[in-house]
């Protein structure tokens, strides 16, 4: 690693504003109300719980007590990148230095952060200091978005409820209520989906998104088969794995058809096993399966050739499969580094693969997946550093590589801008 | 990376002549007739198509128009290693410099290349400049090889048609015609295979080769079971997945038996899913499955213990599995870096694994998989650079590693010669 | 790589004493009786056999002839890390230098080693020179451990025989004899397991260990179902795959219950395919499957939440899956780098992943898996070098990383001590 060159590149890349194309930020509660909310990000509770099991969970309803409790344990995760996000943001936003993070100091940290947080300009200060230009949301179809500034917050429709719909009776009522139809029929389901898309198109949605289980299989599903499965479920009968799979494939097609109709991408987030760990903290119970084939997506990607599919994979074992899909398929764009793959080791590998073999205009570099605006910058910094390392290596290799011409710092920075800004704007049609 | 050491090693490794143990070169059309044929290599059409979808395909029947069309788009893949192959060969063979590659310049590039290509000595010039000593072919059993100089072009028998034979009626006629027997019977099939091997042994074949789908399962198959499956297919009935698998296993055994009889290796190329991408350009429709087990080859490798199996894997997830197989099995030799794994990230990892844990005398370093001689050198250069990096790292580590003795540049270069030249000669019995 | 920094760190890390938490050392034959026993470690016979097939095997019953035979071939594996272990230990223990390793020299090497080995203090000399403080064993439930110094040798109960018990008639007699019960009944099986745990708890066992096949599925199994399966097997009927799987799941639960009762960890070693290579040398016939899901362990890990599961994976494709499991699950501790993953390429990647995302207090750095004490030091040195490289990279990155504070050499060394010593002591409750 050429440290001077990495540092030079990083400093330039860091000047790029942030467009964050996937988050879970709630616009009306976009920043933390106390440092306890920062510390309650599941990474901290789950990593601490993974090291010293907290059978009763954490006292999340009492911010000060929660902060005290967590700080007592925090040093046990001090080697992790997630810890680095935290200390980095606390330094930059609250002026809390690394040496201040001691259990005994909890009250002081809480209060110092609170002073900053209580400023009326705090959310805008976070945005300004982090140089964030746009933040994409992950929205329920029936979520109240009144008053949300969609020139900054870009709505995205989460379609997960439509995929396991047949086995989720509470969704029938919810969707029926939303669409004013009978959610227990395929007609009602389709009307609900129509209304959701119409509403989100109106709101300027960037894309529809689905986080799928491993080994989903897409295929043609006849409407009468979907209707039969839903009707069976409505009688109260349990669905078989085959019937659930049929409905998921039906749901994928229904969503893709509407993405086509509205000219919006369908963002695939492939491979999560939900509620796997029984003793987990909230949001800390999901894992993935290293045995995950993207082959099941062939039908969807071929059939909806005119829909763009930004795609994230959760398992490292799907990394080259995604690179290869993006390398030949015109409608697959590799998107970011998701969750368990969102750490330097796997970012570095996938980034290098993509830069070597996927045309640069298709690369969506990064998204933060954050729940609060405070985390956007440190997570992007982690990625930008790996990007600087990858580009520095490329520059160094280019100087002696028999097939390459020397890569200039300017060209390397242009590449960084493309994957972080220009491609995101183009694929999501941002103004 | 110690740049000076990498450069020094690369320059020495580059002096080694090239023996290319797997290509798709056609001896009677071994070099391009125009730069359009260079540009029509599927990597260029597929990468461009993957970035800007070409619904009508490319005008491949009009070399000048095709060149113009492709050049308009070429810059969108300028970050890829495949682009580097192209610019490297154009520089070295046609004297076209990197800055000349502009869309407006297409006619000039075409004409300048044509001037070189039209020299009667062009094919020999490519061979000489590239320092190529031997090129292995991939031949159909009934391919006309009359007049081919087998002291340079080494025939290899492609056995893919024998594996899905039972479900390929057109092969029955073709093989029957070739062998003068009834291709609709097992006896005819075996006679056809016998004749193919006899013919290719006569031609000095290096090996038989099969590019297999993921998760092939080899096993004992009784002749009457194979006969039953073929007879069913001959009636026009569709075969089940089980029956197709039975036939593939039968075909593997039949080929392996003849490899044994003729003392020739059986080259396995594991894990391709054919015609996966519906909108792909020609040769740009195949992918792989990251879920691929080599366990299915246990029967074959054990039963044909006296046959050598040079083996390539398409998926990165099979990389350590191949290293481990080569580490303990006497008849598995890791061979090259295939297709989607043929880029620096995955070459570097697999090369390092193999150098650490597979005895060096079993390593078949690289093959180009090229369709024209022009691509042999730039593809080998890509590999040789990664080899230089790996050896430089090894030298550097050896100087401070508690278990190692300092590795000399001479010993490192000897290792390079072994994996690139000596092992290839030995396993394929080249004079 | 910053060579000076790596060297500095390695030298400090090398001063740490060795606690080796998994070996196959036999306390009464803990060191080799001749250099032939060193050379008969399966890595040497298997790597040589893999390169030059030895149809008749090696003459292992004649130490001098075996040594001569192996030395004739040894240079063909000179690139491997296993070769480096050998030359390193021979240098350090027998004063045999690298240049002395020539086939003609075999008798001299044999005799020089023998002189050292024949010293009465030899085992203690190996321990002292290697700075070994504790060595964990892998014991059969009925193994004679009388006179073993358990303040140095820590017994661990190998539970493999309990997992395929239903299909292993010879185990019924063996366990029955051990426990004084009828091993053909579930009651007898449970009594045998009870006695095994009682005995090993008495002996101060560190943990129970199981090396599992790929894709094991754990689940609730009713006692009557287990009884039915065993009763069927006792009649001589062959068990179906489903029945074998049921028994394995039952066995896992039975072992885990006793781990809970005795407050001892259950060490999982996931993913080996036994007796795969038909022509292999002894202990050189096993491989793994890259298609291996850890999902099958969900039931076990959730149900036995109060049991700690140190976990090793054999396949590289399970590496991030293990990191993620350890990242959120409180009872999964990543343990070492097993067998085919025990080489620098995969150690480096997994080590980096774990240091980035698993709290450091859960990391069990390394175990040697050795059969003789002589191999403990060179194998640990291999790991310690990769650890030094990882920590040096971390130090270098920390100096320019936007989220990190400069990591001091002292802190890095503290991390090394934690993963090599402190965590091992804590999880296995060593005095």
Residue range A49-58, pLDDT digits in tens: 999 999 989 9
Summarised one tens digit per residue, pLDDT across range A111-163 is 999 999 999 999 999 999 999 999 999 999 999 999 999 999 999 999 999 99
Summarised one tens digit per residue, pLDDT across range B326-375 is 999 999 999 999 999 999 999 999 999 999 999 999 999 999 999 999 99
Please state which CATH number belongs to domain B32-127. 1.10.2020.10
Choose the closest CB to B402 out of C88, C98, C315: C88
Summarised one tens digit per residue, pLDDT across range B56-65 is 999 989 999 9
Residue of B5, B18, B50 to mutate for A, most A C-beta atoms under 10 A: B50
- Mean pLDDT of the residues in chain B: 97
How many CB pairs (< 8 A) connect B and C? 135
Return the residue of A nearest to C301 by Cα. A277
pLDDT given for residue A302 in this prediction: 98
pLDDT given for residue C251 in this prediction: 98
| Residue A212, beta-bridge partner list | A270
Polymer length in residues for chain B: 431
Choose the closest CB to C288 out of B324, B360, B362: B324
When computed from its CA atoms, the radius of gyration of chain B, rounded to whole angstroms, is: 22
Q: Residue C350: helix, strand or coil by DSSP?
A: helix
- Per-residue pLDDT band for B431 (boundaries 50, 70, 90) equals confident
For residues C14-34, give the mean pLDDT.
Answer: 98
Residue with tokens 């000039």: B108
Return the residue of B nearest to A412 by Cα. B79
**Whether A322 contacts chain B with CB within 8 A:** no
pLDDT given for residue C212 in this prediction: 97
pLDDT given for residue A195 in this prediction: 98
Give how far A344 is from chain B: nearest CA, Å. 15
pLDDT given for residue A1 in this prediction: 79
CB within 8 Å: B291 and C291: yes
CB within 8 Å: B357 and C82: yes
Strands in A132-136's sheet, in edge-to-edge order, are A18-20, A132-136, A153-154
pLDDT given for residue A39 in this prediction: 98
| Residue A18, beta-bridge partner list | A132
User: Chains that contact C by 3+ CB pairs under 8 Å?
Assistant: A, B
Q: Residue B207: helix, strand or coil by DSSP?
A: coil
For residues B196-214, give the mean pLDDT.
Answer: 98
3-state secondary structure chain A: CCHHHHHHHHHHHHCCCEEECCCCCCHHHCCCCCHHHHHCCHHHHHHHHHHCCCCCCCCCCCHHHHHHHHHHHHHHHCCCHHHHHHHHHHHHHHCCCHHHCCHHHHHHHHHHHHHHHCCCCHHHHHHHHHCEEEEECCECCCCCCCCCCCCCEECCEECHHHHCHHHCHHHHHHHHHHHCCCCCCHHHHHHHHHHHHHHHHHCCCCCEEEEECCCCCCCCCCHHHHHHHHHHHHCCCCCCHHHHHHHHHHHHHHHHHHHHHHCCCEEEEECEECCCCCCCCCCCCCEECCCCCHHHHHHHHHHCCCCCEEEEECCHHHHHHHHHHHHHCCCEEEECCCHHHCCHHHHHHHHHHHHHHCCHHHCECCCCCCCCHHHHHHHHHHHHHHHHHHHHHHHHHHHHCCCCCCCCHHHHHHHHHHHHHHHHHHHCCCC
Q: Residue B393: helix, strand or coil by DSSP?
A: helix
CB within 8 Å: C53 and B397: no
**Whether C270 contacts chain A with CB within 8 A:** no
Query: Do residues A162 and A242 touch, judged by C-beta distance below 8 A?
Result: no
pLDDT given for residue C431 in this prediction: 79
Choose the closest CB to C77 out of B305, B319, B359: B359
Q: Residue C245: helix, strand or coil by DSSP?
A: helix
**Whether A404 contacts chain B with CB within 8 A:** yes
Domain ranges of chain B: 32-127, 137-334
What is the token pair recorded at A280? 């987990």
For residues B61-90, give the mean pLDDT.
Answer: 97
Which chain B residues have a beta carbon less than 8 Å from that of C12? Answer: none
* pLDDT score of A267 more than 90: yes
* pLDDT score of B238 more than 90: yes
Which residues lie below 8 Å from residue C234, measured CB to CB, with a gap of 6+? Answer: C172, C184
| Residue A309, beta-bridge partner list | A332
Does this chain's domain C30-127 share its CATH topology with C158-334?
A: no
Question: Tell me, what DSSP letter sits at residue C341?
Answer: G
Is residue C211 within a helix (H) or strand (E), and if so which, with residue range? strand C208-212
pLDDT given for residue B1 in this prediction: 79
Give how far B219 is from chain A: nearest CA, Å. 24
Which chain B residues have a beta carbon less than 8 Å from that of A354? Answer: none
* pLDDT score of C1 more than 90: no
Q: ∠ CA A202-A205-A209 to the nearest 5 degrees? A: 135
Choose the closest CB to B280 out of A294, A328, A349: A328
Query: Do residues A18 and A380 touch, judged by C-beta distance below 8 A?
Result: yes
The whole-angstrom separation of Cα C244 and Cα B166 is 35
Query: Do residues C247 and C222 touch, judged by C-beta distance below 8 A?
Result: no
For residues C377-397, give the mean pLDDT.
Answer: 98
The whole-angstrom separation of Cα B141 and Cα B147 is 16
The CATH fold of domain C158-334: TIM Barrel (3.20.20)
Choose the closest CB to A330 out of B279, B290, B343: B279
CB within 8 Å: C401 and A378: no
Residue with tokens 């990251």: B290
Summarised one tens digit per residue, pLDDT across range B406-426 is 999 999 999 999 999 999 999
Give how far A221 is from chain C: nearest CA, Å. 29
Strands in A157-158's sheet, in edge-to-edge order, are A157-158, A208-212, A266-270, A309-313, A332-334
**Whether A217 contacts chain B with CB within 8 A:** no
* pLDDT score of A78 more than 90: yes
What is the token pair recorded at B387? 């080899």
When computed from its CA atoms, the radius of gyration of chain C, rounded to whole angstroms, is: 22
> Comparing C-alpha atoms, which of A217, A243, A216 is closest to residue A230?
A243
- Mean pLDDT of the residues in chain C: 97
For residues A64-68, give the mean pLDDT.
Answer: 98
The whole-angstrom separation of Cα B249 and Cα B416 is 36
Distances (CA, A) of A268 to A212, A307, C176, C338: 7, 12, 56, 34
The whole-angstrom separation of Cα B11 and Cα B8 is 5
Residue with tokens 């990376």: B1
Give how far C380 is from chain B: nearest CA, Å. 10
- Chain-centre distance for alpha carbon C296: 22
Please, what's the largest Cα pairwise distance for chain B? 69
What is the token pair recorded at A11? 């400093």
* pLDDT score of A180 more than 90: yes
Cα torsion through A164, A170, A171, A176, rounded to 10: 150
3-state secondary structure C5-55: HHHHHHHHHHCCCEEECCCCCCHHHCCCCCHHHHHCCHHHHHHHHHHCCCC
CB within 8 Å: A51 and C324: no
* pLDDT score of B166 more than 90: yes
CB within 8 Å: C14 and B402: yes
Summarised one tens digit per residue, pLDDT across range A372-424 is 999 999 999 999 999 999 999 999 999 999 999 999 999 999 999 999 999 99
Residue of B6, B327, B352 to mutate for C, most C C-beta atoms under 10 A: B327
Return the residue of B nearest to A348 by Cα. B345
The whole-angstrom separation of Cα A1 and Cα A10 is 13
Give how far B275 is from chain C: nearest CA, Å. 24
ipTM value, please give it. 0.97
For residues A33-57, give the mean pLDDT.
Answer: 97
Strands in B153-154's sheet, in edge-to-edge order, are B18-20, B132-136, B153-154
What is the token pair recorded at A109? 């940290």
Residue of C50, C74, C215 to mutate for B, most B C-beta atoms under 10 A: C50
Return the residue of C nearest to A319 by Cα. C317
Query: Do residues B294 and B270 touch, judged by C-beta distance below 8 A?
Result: yes
Choose the closest CB to A324 out of B278, B287, B381: B287
Question: Could you say which residues from 355 to 394 on chain C have a Cβ atom under 8 Å away from some Cβ of chain A?
Answer: 355-362, 393
pLDDT given for residue A274 in this prediction: 97
CB within 8 Å: C357 and A82: yes
How many beta carbons lie within 10 A of that of residue C80, not counting itself? 21
- Per-residue pLDDT band for A27 (boundaries 50, 70, 90) equals very high
**Whether C345 contacts chain B with CB within 8 A:** yes
pLDDT given for residue A210 in this prediction: 98
Homologous superfamily (CATH) of C30-127 is uronate isomerase, domain 2, chain A (1.10.2020.10)
Homologous superfamily (CATH) of A33-127 is uronate isomerase, domain 2, chain A (1.10.2020.10)
> Comparing C-alpha atoms, which of B132, B99, B185, B100 is closest to residue B14?
B132
Q: Determine phi and psi for A34, rounding to 5 degrees.
A: -160, 170
By percentage, how much of chain A surpasses pLDDT 90?
99
Choose the closest CB to B324 out of C76, C340, C344: C340
CB within 8 Å: C349 and A344: no
How many beta carbons lie within 10 A of that of residue B11, not counting itself? 13
How many beta carbons lie within 10 A of that of residue C215, not counting itself? 16
Query: Do residues C347 and A62 touch, judged by C-beta distance below 8 A?
Result: no
pLDDT given for residue B67 in this prediction: 98
Please state which CATH number belongs to domain B137-334. 3.20.20.140
- Mean pLDDT of the residues in chain A: 97
Cα torsion through C215, A316, C284, B272, rounded to 10: 90
Cα torsion through A327, A328, A334, A337, rounded to 10: -60
Architecture of domain A137-273+293-307: Alpha-Beta Barrel (3.20)
Return the residue of C nearest to B360 by Cα. C79
Choose the closest CB to A50 out of C318, C328, C397: C328
- Chain-centre distance for alpha carbon B3: 30
Choose the closest CB to A346 out of C320, C327, C393: C320
The whole-angstrom separation of Cα A130 and Cα A124 is 10
For residues C344-354, give the mean pLDDT.
Answer: 98
Which chain A residues have a beta carbon less than 8 Å from that of C416? Answer: none
* pLDDT score of C183 more than 90: yes
Burial of B129 from C-beta contacts in 10 A (0-12 / 13-18 / 19+)? middle
């Amino acid at each position: 690693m050429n440290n001077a060159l990495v540092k030079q590149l990083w400093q330039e890349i860091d000047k790029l504003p942030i467009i964050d194309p996937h988050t879970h930020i709630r616009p009306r509660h976009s920043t933390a109300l106390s440092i306890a909310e920062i510390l309650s990000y599941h990474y901290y509770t789950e990593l601490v719980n993974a090291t010293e099991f907290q059978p009763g969970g954490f006292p999340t309803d009492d911010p000060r007590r929660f902060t005290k409790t967590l700080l007592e344990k925090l040093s046990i995760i001090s080697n992790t990148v997630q810890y680095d996000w935290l200390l980095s943001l606390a330094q930059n936003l609250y002026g809390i230095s690394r040496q201040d993070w001691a259990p005994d100091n909890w009250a002081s940290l809480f209060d110092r952060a609170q002073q900053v947080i209580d400023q009326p300009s705090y959310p805008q200060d976070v945005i300004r200091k982090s140089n964030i230009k746009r933040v994409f949301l992950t929205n329920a179809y029936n979520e109240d978005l009144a008053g949300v500034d969609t020139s900054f917050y870009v709505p995205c429709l989460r379609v997960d409820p439509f995929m396991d719909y047949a086995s989720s009776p509470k969704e029938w009522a919810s969707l029926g209520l939303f669409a004013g139809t009978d959610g227990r029929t395929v007609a009602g389901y389709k009307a609900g989906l129509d209304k959701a898309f119409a509403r989100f198109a109106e709101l300027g949605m960037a894309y529809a998104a689905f986080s799928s289980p491993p080994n989903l299989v897409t295929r043609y599903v006849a409407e009468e088969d979907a209707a039969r499965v839903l009707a069976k479920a409505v009688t109260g009968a349990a669905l078989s794995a085959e019937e659930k799979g049929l409905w998921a494939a039906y749901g994928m097609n229904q969503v893709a058809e509407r993405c086509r109709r509205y000219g919006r991408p369908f963002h695939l987030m492939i491979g999560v096993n939900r509620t796997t760990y029984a003793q987990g903290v909230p949001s800390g119970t999901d894992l993935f399966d290293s045995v995950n084939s993207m082959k099941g997506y062939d039908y969807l990607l071929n059939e909806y050739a005119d829909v763009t599919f930004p795609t994230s994979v959760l398992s490292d074992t799907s990394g080259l499969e995604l690179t290869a899909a993006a390398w030949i398929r015109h409608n697959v764009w590799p998107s970011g580094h998701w969750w368990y793959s969102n750490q330097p080791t796997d970012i570095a590998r996938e980034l290098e693969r993509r830069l070597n073999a996927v045309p640069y205009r298709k690369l969506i570099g990064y998204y933060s997946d954050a729940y609060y605006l405070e985390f956007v910058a440190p997570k992007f910094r982690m990625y930008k550093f790996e990007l600087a390392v990858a580009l520095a290596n490329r520059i160094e290799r280019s100087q002696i590589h028999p097939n390459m011409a020397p890569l200039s710092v300017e060209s390397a920075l242009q590449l960084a801008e493309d994957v972080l800004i220009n491609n995101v704007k183009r694929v999501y049609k941002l103004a």
